[in-house]
Amino acid sequence: MDPKSTDPPAPARPKMVPRMEPSKASLRTSQTTSSSPTASTPPTTPTDGTPPRRISKPEVRPPAFTVNLDLPPRERYKEIGKVYKEKLKSLKPIYDNLFNHFPAKNFVRLFARHTLFRRVYRYEEQQEIEGLVEATGLPRYLIVAYNTLLDTFMGCTSGAVRLAHDPTKPYSDENRDKMLHFRTLDWGMDELRQLVILINYQRGGKTIAQAVTYAGFVGVLTGVRQGLSASLNFRAAASENTRKRTVRLHKLLVLLGIRPSVSSQLRNFLFSEKHKQPPALSEIIHKFPRTHCTPCYVTLCDGDFAAFFEKDITHADLTVSEEFVVGTNHDGRMEAWKHAEYDAFTKSHPIPHAVRGAVDLLEDSLQRKRCINRLHDAASNTKGNWRAKPENRVEPGIGIKTVVSWCHAWPITNENTHFSCVMDPKAGNILWMRYYEDPPDEPG
């Protein structure tokens, strides 16, 4: 159980705006959301309208596995554990490297092993982890640390867009009256590429949800069921109005298994315990902002609307649209920063040796978001789209091929990308996916 605390009042439901009007609505569930800035000078990206370079690659899916939710939790992941037993041994050096910057790192590593990484919040997930421990022979602390920390180091691009009819083919067979959810997952740890898998979650012999994840991980980073798709993006820091000790306390409680990780909460959005109905998007919009959660960015879509959360510990800034949303790894307010804001962050950064990495993250994040916005603007402007060179054209309107082409564009896909995918929450499946077993090469 969580320690007693006073939650802020329940937020008002965001206004769902008409489709043909500018479709961006904001919801504040607490004070103004912001996170610590992450650069010393404002990053710049080309603004001349030059089309992004695309990586021409076919669809490639990783190994697929079935997780039978009708089985006892301890048995569900054993097949995956046995298949990936040797590859999961790569987690040990990754775990050890986490503590290299701590003073008395050997003591801290030993303390974490015996005190922190003992259990996760939900009993069902803990039993699944116990099954993985039995199947792999790896120590429990390593699997728990993997499931607790994996969702805190990713750089990603996530968004959703409503398909738009091709004006040259008004009677096309393709159903475009829906939104699709696109997603790339980036991470600098190449060792984990070999662990990417596709999971089909089944009940009663039927697939009820799909997730692209890592072997040995029981939470959800990217997933879809009929009526909801979800993706998680890394957020470097909490809002300015959130005390650092509040963030530290929350993270400690997650490490102790007293509060759930973000990936555990997303899993609960996709499928709940047996005989329980998973929540609808409207319910999540109402409850999730004030739920205790590690700072992060979350994109959810039900095919009619999409929501992008700038999530803090107990509040969120929320954008809801029925046309287009996109998020990377920075707060929206950072896009208007001047030199003074960047300088202030650099001087106040709590970890001086990490400033350069924070600068790189923000520059990369801003560049990826500007690229997606430029692609969306071009696809929304049919005339402008067809003035482009033949290799950069996509079909009129916005169709599935268009959204896939966005995922191929550099730097949306980059040298750190592990996979990209397009999900259809109306149908409840992954429409398209590209898995990168090796780092993608930048197109010439």
Provide the pLDDT confidence category of residue 90 given band limits of 50, 70 and 90: confident
Mean pLDDT score across all residues of the chain = 83
What pLDDT shows up at residue 397? 75
SS3 call for 400: helix
Name the β-bridge partners of 309: 298, 318
Q: CA 224, 188, 140, 195 torsion: positive or negative?
A: positive
pLDDT above 90 as % of the chain: 60
Residue 412, CA atoms < 13 Å, CB-side half-sphere: 31
Distances (CA, A) of 228 to 48, 181, 295, 350, 429: 36, 10, 21, 38, 10
Supply 42's token pair: 């404002």
Residue 214's contacts (CB-CB under 8 Å, 6 or more residues apart) are 150, 192, 195, 196, 197, 221
pLDDT at 3 over 50: no
Q: Residue 386's pLDDT band (boundaries 50, 70, 90)? A: very low
Distance, CA of 80 to CA of 73 (rounded, Å)? 13
Quick check: 248 pLDDT over 50? yes
Question: Residue 428 in 3-state DSSP?
Answer: coil
Most confident of the following: 107-116, 330-339, 387-396: 330-339
Please report where in the chains the tokens 């009929």 appear, as a residue. Answer: 226
Listed residue (64, 413, 412) closest to 211, CA to CA: 64
Nearest C-alpha neighbor of 5 from the set 314, 338, 340:
314
- In degrees and rounded to multiples of 5, residue 299 shows phi and psi of -115, 130
How do residues 289-325 score in pLDDT, each as one tens digit? 999 999 999 999 999 999 999 999 999 999 999 999 9
Phi, psi of 174 (to 5 degrees): -70, 125
- Please say whether the beta carbons of 389 and 69 come within 8 A: no
The label of the residue with tokens 């004006």 reads 167
Task: Name the DSSP letter for residue 86.
Answer: T
Please state the pTM of the whole predicted model.
0.84
3 state SS of 95: helix
